[in-house]
Amino acid sequence: MNVIAKPNDIAGLIEADRAHVWHHLSQHKPYETIDPRIMIEGRGMRLWDATGKEYLDAVSGGVWTVNVGYGRESIANAVRDQLVKLNYFAGSAGSEPGARFAQKLIEKMPGLTRVYYSNSGSEANEKVFKMVRQLSAQVHGGKKSKILYRERDYHGTTLGVLAACGQPQRASHYGPFPEGFVEVPHCLEYRNQYPDAPHYGIAAANAIEEVILREGPDTIGLLCLEPVTAGGGVIAPPEGYWPRVQEICAKYDILLHIDEVVCGLGRTGTWFGYQQYGVKPDFVTMAKGLASGYAAISCTVTTEAVFEMFKNDPSDPLNYFRDISTFGGCLAGPAAALENMRIIEDEDLLGNTTRMGERLRANLLALQEKHAAIGDVRGVGLFQGAELVADRTTKEPLAEAKVQAVVAHCMKNGVIIGATNRSLPGLNNTLCLSPALIATADDIDAITNAIDAALTEVMG
């Protein structure tokens, strides 16, 4: 594929970018002396930049989003057709793609019935927090307003959700935050906080109950958790954890919110990560893979019981959910999401995710046998992590600079992988892999071969 821009075009693109674009998650000082990378085209799992360099993308667009791969004309056509027919109307009214996608989505989520549209994962999670605060005011007499979140979990970038950020470096410098957000301990067995406990999963869940009892059960309205912790180190919950969490929420009448922004729409091999564990949530939020990045869309999904609590006397002007997401009314989102879901179904991408996830995990475990720097391999489906250590015995984390050197080596050799970075002080040491659900065995092998070569070079 020849996607190399003309020399004058390359120079112009780079200078326009350098002069005017403020990149996400980027320190721009280096761009004074090096050129920013500019991506031009994608097909399947491969990308080409402005110089024509080819990359195999093992992180689905850099942030776990392009689940069905690049260049899907059918999604682009579905979006185009919908935009010509009707591009937008505020979410205060319904729409054809909005109704059809909500119905199809709910068919995949037994026990849940209502879909609220917005346009980002941060926004979807913020809606839940607002709903809980409103229920505190109008149902619980001001009680049950506190929101529990978990150490190492991440729920978004706005100030409200940053108040529930279990990654200190992500939240650093952005306070003061809203009050009423309380952290519970992580559940990473590799970093076991309860070495004397006979069952780690139960102990990690019981630690949540201890926080509830300390704060007062009548003050807690919501527990917000990722099904598999994503940017905090790809942490799959230990055996026994989720059933005990469900028991605790029921015992203290606490709503359970599962943040599926990363895991939703097939990443773990089921439609949603929580479905791996038999959990029955009150809220589920989703974004990234919902339309594979072809349009902006997120959903806050809840039960009929929660929805009914917002149906009150119409004469009271403040008793309904007084919220709007402007671009939740853009119909490109549900149009893209409908076609995205059809592709996942018709191509059996859930099955492929399970099969290729097993291969990815097996390859990483083989690398662990070869490289002492790999202390732990963990994950579910096509969402896998490898925690790097300086010493296996002590589990001393590998320095972040060396972890990033592994990432850079892979990038230099045409494979894009991810890693925890600037999130967890002293623990930004996990390689993160989330290839598209279309990955083949050759793709998986190429990814792990690149990591093998990078570890050999960086670790000596």
Domain spans in the chain, listed from the N-terminal domain onward: 10-66+348-459, 74-346
211 within 8 A of 187, measured Cβ to Cβ: no
Residue 275 pLDDT > 90, yes or no? yes
**CATH superfamily of the domain spanning 10-66+348-459:** Aspartate Aminotransferase, domain 1 (3.90.1150.10)
Average pLDDT, the chain: 96
pLDDT tens-digit readout, 152-165: 999 999 999 999 99
**What is the model's pLDDT at position 7?**
52
Nearest-5° Cα angle at 241, 367 to 345: 70
pLDDT band of residue 3 (cuts 50, 70, 90) is low
Q: What is the dihedral of CA 90, 92, 93, 94, to 10 degrees?
A: 90
Q: What percent of the chain has pLDDT over 70?
A: 98
Q: How far apart are CA 97 and CA 132, in angstroms?
A: 28
pLDDT band of residue 314 (cuts 50, 70, 90) is confident
pLDDT band of residue 11 (cuts 50, 70, 90) is confident
Average pLDDT over residues 319-347: 96
267 within 8 A of 383, measured Cβ to Cβ: yes
Q: What is the dihedral of CA 327, 330, 335, 336, to 10 degrees?
A: -40
Residue 19 pLDDT > 60, yes or no? yes
Helix (H, G, I), strand (E, B) or coil at 18: helix
Q: How far apart are CA 136 and CA 159, in angstroms?
A: 20
Helix (H, G, I), strand (E, B) or coil at 278: coil
Residue 137 pLDDT > 70, yes or no? yes
pLDDT band of residue 318 (cuts 50, 70, 90) is confident
Which are the contacts of 382, defined by CB distance < 8 A and separation ≥ 6? 267, 268, 269, 353, 356, 357, 360, 433, 434, 435, 436, 437, 439
Residue type present at position 64: W
Residue 2 pLDDT > 70, yes or no? no
**What is the model's pLDDT at position 316?**
82
Q: How far apart are the first and last CA of the chain?
A: 35
Average pLDDT over residues 121-143: 97
Q: How far apart are CA 378 and CA 361, in angstroms?
A: 8
pLDDT band of residue 9 (cuts 50, 70, 90) is confident
Q: 371: buried, middle or exposed (CB in 10 Å: 19+, 13-18, 0-12)? A: middle
Helix (H, G, I), strand (E, B) or coil at 88: strand
Q: How far apart are CA 361 and CA 381, in angstroms?
A: 8
3.30.2350.10, 1.10.357.10, 3.40.640.10, 3.90.1150.10: which CATH number matches 74-346?
Answer: 3.40.640.10
